[in-house]
Amino acid sequence: MFVWVEPTMHGTPENEQFVKATLAVLATLVPKCLLTYYILYVSIRDVQTGRKKMWRISTEVFVMTLIALLIHRLISIYLTNPIIYEGIWPPAPIIAMRPILTSLMEIGFVTGMAVALKFVRVQLTGKEREKNLLKEKLETELKFLRNQTNPHFLMNTLNNIYALARKKSEHTPDVVLKLSKLLRFMLYESRNDRISLTDEIRMIEDYLELEKIRYNERLTIELAKNIDEPSQDIAPLLLLPFIENAFKHGASETRFDSYIRIDIRLEKGVLHFFIENTKDDTGETGVAENIGLSNVRRQLELMYDEHTLQVENKKDRFIVHLTVNLMSDATI
């Protein structure tokens, strides 16, 4: 308004022009607010809910616009022009094309800006809500996958204890004790989103010790570690399913002496996990997606953007090579 009326008020100081422009805008707030809030809180709501037909909504907006224009013209004729601007402009009738278009532009600019901001805010809120819903869904799926891993591990370990108990092995109490430690890890540590790589490796070592008791000399287990940052975080139970598969589908199904080789390396936040186990030659070289392998694939997709998983089923051995950038958290 200040810029608009400036050409017709050359003899008036700028500060006085600004005061008059402010008073004129305040005086015409009523019609602007009337149309703006009607569209924001009545018309848009009717469109979203579908309670009224579009022709009826359009008609109501048109009528409300006419009412706002009438009020704006009355304020301009009886307040703004004669009192605030002290008759700078000549009197004009209520129904005159140029003043009506001027009033329509003034009201339309305010209403249009308000409606545009409303739609932007609604869109941003909708995207944020959608993002939160997706995040909650993925977190629920991740918890479900981890809960699947726990019973799978427990079932395998109880089978081991059952086999030792039938043999009346003297190692049975030691196995139960180690299982207790592992279950404590499952119940408490694995609930965290991340644990240190040191804790993950310690749990793996306990599991390997438990399995060594079962297989005795028939199985050779090699574990190599080269970790440049032991405190590096990692998702819990990420590596265990691969080791379980090596025992379940390798050592337990092999009739002769067998081996499992594990290599864990961490270099500048990038984890390299390699495991190889012998197996009997069954003539099959395809890779079957069991529960453990499918779960790990999905967990990797949910947690890390940068990862590669290579699985090879060779004639006499099974090889898994996993590379994960542990600092590349997945984004939604």
Q: What is the pLDDT of residues 243-295, one digit of tens each?
A: 888 887 776 666 667 889 999 999 989 999 999 988 877 666 566 666 567 77
Q: Would 124 be classed as within a structural domain?
A: no
In a shared domain, residues 197 and 136: yes
Query: Which residues, other chains included, contact 295 with Cβ-Cβ below 8 Å and sequence gap of 6+?
Result: 145, 148, 149, 241
Q: Which of 258, 226, 260 minimizes the C-alpha distance to 243?
A: 260
Yes or no: say if 285 and 272 are a contact pair by the CB < 8 Å rule.
no
DSSP 90: P
Q: Would 110 be classed as within a structural domain?
A: no
pLDDT score for 175: 75
Beta strand 270-278 pairing with 307-313 = unpaired
Which strands, in side-by-side order, build the sheet including 270-278?
219-227, 258-267, 270-278, 317-325, 307-313
Confidence grade of residue 31 (pLDDT, cut at 50, 70, 90)? very high
pLDDT score for 288: 62
pLDDT score for 285: 58
In a shared domain, residues 6 and 51: yes
Q: Would 121 be classed as within a structural domain?
A: no
In a shared domain, residues 67 and 172: no
| Cα torsion 51, 57, 59, 65: sign | positive
| CATH number of the domain where residue 275 is located | 3.30.565.10
Q: Would 112 be classed as within a structural domain?
A: no
Question: Dihedrals φ, ψ of 311, to 5°?
Answer: -125, 125
10 vs 328, higher pLDDT: 328
The total of structural domains in the chain comes to 2
Q: What is the pLDDT of residues 303-315, one digit of tens each?
A: 888 889 998 888 8
Confidence grade of residue 117 (pLDDT, cut at 50, 70, 90)? very high
Boundary of a domain, candidates 68, 95, 122: 95
pLDDT score for 207: 83
Neighbour-count burial of 42, counting CB atoms closer than 10 A to its CB (0-12 exposed, 13-18 middle, 19+ buried): middle
Query: Which residues, other chains included, contact 150 with Cβ-Cβ below 8 Å and sequence gap of 6+?
Result: 186, 190, 237
Cβ neighbours of 294 (radius 10 Å): 14
Q: What is the mean pLDDT of residues 175-188?
A: 75
Q: What is the pLDDT of residues 92-104, one digit of tens each?
A: 777 878 888 888 8
| Confidence check: pLDDT of 151 > 70 | no
Segments forming the whole domain that contains residue 38: 2-95
In a shared domain, residues 233 and 162: yes
| Count of residues making up the chain | 332
In a shared domain, residues 176 and 314: yes
Q: Would 113 be classed as within a structural domain?
A: no
Provide the strand spans (E) within 54-171: none
pTM flag (> 0.85): no
